[in-house]
Amino acid sequence: MIPVILSGGSGSRLWPLSRKLYPKQFLALAGERTLFQQTVQRLGLEGMEPPIIVCNQEHRFIVSEQLGAIGVKAQALLLEPFGRNTAPAVAIAALKVLAEGRDELLLVLPADHVIVDEAALHRALEIARAAAEEGEMVLFGIPAERPETGFGYIKAAPGNASDSLIPGACRVEAFVEKPDSVRASEFVRSGGYYWNSGIFLFRASRYLEELRSHEPDIYDTCVLALERSKAEGERVHIDPHIFECCPDNSIDYAVLEKTQRACVVPLTAGWSDVGSWSSLWQVNAKDAEGNVLKGDVLTQNSHNCYVHGNSKLVTLLGVDDMVVVETRDAVMIAHKNCVQDVKNLVSALDAQGRQETQNHCMVYRPWGGYDSVDAGTRHQVKHITVKPGAQLSLQMHHHRAEHWIVVSGTARVTCDDKTFLLTENQSTYIPIASVHRLANPGKIPLEIIEVQSGSYLGEDDIERLEDVYGRNVHGDAAPQSYK
């Protein structure tokens, strides 16, 4: 069995903690490990192969770093140039497995879910495995225990319609779109309804057979996109020109709602998709007043709130059922009943061209990261951290000069035809249009303060001449790419 972990979402409902270039699956929202790391670790079972990760091209270094932190190596990183939903993502994973002469069971699961009872997951997996080996397309259904309007529902067929299935599995009678509160309450009362967890199990060839039958355009486009993709070790860069033509569709719509072989296996394991601030409130420990408090927070006469402080003291007085999330560059306040609409806030900010939806003040790069400290019309100040042994790209800027001051560690600086070392409290000046590079030859993190000055300070004023991380060179960097 091969886990296919889908890590392409942006988590806009969890803004401002979740940003497009550092979304919720890479955050530690429910435990010490990130949601992505927890997903990988819970699959360390006998017979389970290393995972295939499907993620956005922009997230490849985050994925590699978080896998390395837990000592796991993926068998493949399938890098999408942009999202085309789950049906194409899984198709390319299945095609890659078959191209290698294997026809394994694929366990498809999102990277950003919480599962409390892992033993219950493992028991459900055994039932699902037996069904999938018989050619079934298995969905894991969460028994609908309360009237949720944010989930799709699965209605299980009566017992006599499922007699031919593996014990513990039920034939799917119908899929139901996200209902209103009245219908959701009816589903809970009547029984036999499950939330669609987004976790699936089927054989690679079985999925592709169904996809080719029901959505041939997706199948054909994915075949061609994989053929023209470029491999770089375990990384597979999916061809953007072909993939752009691929229809955008989910596994549910493309295959599972059309096949005659869909079945559901109940999963009672403390599951949550952590899809909103209210669901995050549900899965975290609460104080005596029902509040979930993160960071420097003080509440009085306030109940059932979720409060996340980051850089400032946050206080609440006399409010109930509120969500307050503070980051260095944004504050979001919402009633818990409205948190499904946070995505609308993000859309409005995107329409204004606001960068607060893209990145945090702290921006992560394969060599380390940088924190924006201050900015004006003709200056910017950044706190840069470079990991031991790492180096930034060889580059130049056309509109800005830079001053570098070493706070701790040792810097190896290249500036035009000179290369030299700087240590703590030493500094250097990088003139406009100078070819330069910063590296950390030491054993501890290098920290520097960079002061930029010039007529244009946008991150797209960068011409890369050489890069050890395989990023674009010769001026083709994306606007978000720094160093």
Question: Using one digit for the tens of pLDDT, what is the confidence trace for 326-350?
Answer: 999 999 999 999 998 999 999 999 9
How many CB atoms neighbour CB 173 within 10 A? 15
Which residues 6+ apart lie within 8 Å of 207 measured at CB? 90, 91, 94, 106, 137, 255
Q: What pLDDT is recorded for position 478? A: 41
For the residues of 290-328, what is the DSSP string, one character each?
S-EEESSEEEES-BS-EEE-SSS-EEEES-BSEEEEE-S
Q: What is the pLDDT of residue 482?
A: 54
User: Tokens at residue 171, please?
Assistant: 């034939």
Is 117 in the same domain as 96? yes
Q: CA-CA distance, 161 to 14, in Å (whole number)?
A: 40
Classified as helix, coil or strand, 201 is strand
Does residue 370 lie within any of the structural domains? Answer: yes
Residues in the chain predicted with pLDDT less than 50, given as ranges, are: 475-481
* Among the listed residues 438, 452, 373, 382, the one whose alpha carbon sits nearest the alpha carbon of residue 409: 438
CATH label of the domain that carries residue 421:
2.60.120.10
- The predicted model scores a pTM of 0.88
**Is residue 399 domain-shared with residue 325, that is, in the same domain?**
no
- Residue 420: count other Cβ atoms within 10 Å of its Cβ: 11
Structure tokens at 46: 């006998």
Closest CA to 276 of 323, 311, 327, 330: 323
The verdict on residue 302 lying in a domain is yes
Can you name the residues that pair with 371 across neighbouring β-strands?
362, 383
CA distance 134 to 428: 67
Residue with tokens 């050489």: 466
Q: Is residue 355 part of a domain?
A: no
Q: By percentage, how much of the chain surpasses pLDDT 70?
A: 96
Q: Report in angstroms the alpha-carbon separations of 211 from 107, 128, 134, 481.
A: 17, 20, 18, 36
Could you write out the DSSP letters of every residue in 108-175? Answer: EEESS-EES-HHHHHHHHHHHHHHHTTT-EEEEEEE--S--SSS-EEEEPPGGGSTTSPTT-EEEEEE
Residue 17 sits in a domain whose CATH number is 3.90.550.10
Task: Name the domain boundary from 238, 254, 272.
Answer: 272
Give the helix/strand (H/E) hosting 95.
helix 86-99
Does residue 350 lie in a domain region?
no
Q: How many CA atoms lie within 13 A of 110 on its CB side?
A: 26
Kindly state whether residues 195 and 283 are assigned to the same domain.
Answer: no
> Do 302 and 402 belong to one domain?
no
Same domain, 301 and 414: no
Residues 453 and 422 in one domain: yes
- Does residue 19 contact residue 26 with C-beta atoms inside 8 Å? no
Does residue 472 lie in a domain region? no
Does 88 fall in a domain? Answer: yes
Q: What is the pLDDT of residue 479?
A: 39
Give the pLDDT score at 472: 74
Longest dimension (CA), the chain: 80
Together in a domain, 93 and 167 = yes
Residue 480 lies in a domain: no
In this prediction, residue 160 carries a pLDDT of: 54
Same domain, 372 and 290: no
What is the spatial distance between Cα 171 and Cα 156, in angstroms, rounded to a whole number?
6
Nearest to 332 by CA among 277, 259, 414: 277
Shared domain check, 336 and 369: no
Last residue of a domain, one of 272, 299, 314: 272
Is 467 in contact with 449 (CB distance < 8 Å)? Answer: no
Co-location of 375 and 339 in the same domain: no
Residue matched to tokens 């009678």: 173
* 400-453 pLDDT per residue, tens: 999 999 999 999 999 999 999 999 999 999 999 999 999 999 999 999 999 999
Name residue, tokens 């946008």. 458
pLDDT reported for residue 476: 41
| Residue 299: domain span | 277-343
- The answer to the question of residue 354 being in a domain is no
Residues 294 and 262 in one domain: no
Q: Are 149 and 180 in contact (CB under 8 A)?
A: yes
pLDDT at 185: 93
Q: How many helices (H) and strands (E) does the chain have?
A: 11, 30
The reply to whether 196 and 253 lie within a common domain is yes
- Predicted confidence at residue 363, as pLDDT, reads 87
User: Among 312, 343, 374, which residue terminates a domain?
Assistant: 343
What pLDDT is stored for residue 86 in this prediction?
Answer: 96
275-301 burial, b for 16+ CB within 10 Å, e for fewer? bbbbbbbebbeeeeeebbbbeebebee
For the chain, the domain total comes to 3
